[in-house]
């Protein structure tokens, strides 16, 4: 009986441990996410959502790193955060990558 319990426990826990994803930072095109697709950037990778950072165990560290990364002059040229709504990008972190 004990072997059956341990086997069932491993079957239930092992996939969630192995397949668990961490947070990854992204930039998402505002106009496409809200006006065209309408998913507010909550989906996974796509032509309007680009994952940029390494994996993080918690969302706070991911947000801090991604914000620092996206506020560099090079990144602000590639993914502008100010301007016309059809031009701007926003950043975030999720596990949908």
Burial of residue 62 (number of CB atoms within 10 Å: 0-12, 13-18, 19+): buried
pLDDT digits over 2-43, tens only? Answer: 555 444 444 545 444 445 689 999 999 999 999 999 999 998
The Cβ of residue 65 has, within 10 Å, a number of other Cβ atoms equal to 17
Look up residue 37 and give its DSSP letter: S
Task: Identify the H or E element spanning 54.
Answer: strand 49-56
Q: Across the chain, what does the average pLDDT equal?
A: 86
Pairing of strands 89-94, 23-29: antiparallel
Burial of residue 26 (number of CB atoms within 10 Å: 0-12, 13-18, 19+): buried
């Amino acid at each position: 009986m004990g072997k059956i319990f341990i086997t069932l426990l491993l079957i239930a826990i092992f996939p969630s441990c192995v397949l668990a994803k961490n947070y990854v930072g992204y930039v998402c095109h505002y106009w496409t996410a809200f006006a065209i697709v309408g998913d507010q950037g909550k989906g996974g990778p796509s032509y309007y959502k680009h994952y940029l950072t390494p994996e993080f165990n918690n969302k706070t560290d991911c947000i801090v790193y991604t914000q620092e990364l996206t506020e560099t002059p090079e990144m602000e040229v590639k993914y502008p955060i100010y301007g016309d709504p059809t031009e701007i990008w926003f950043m975030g972190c999720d596990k949908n990558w």
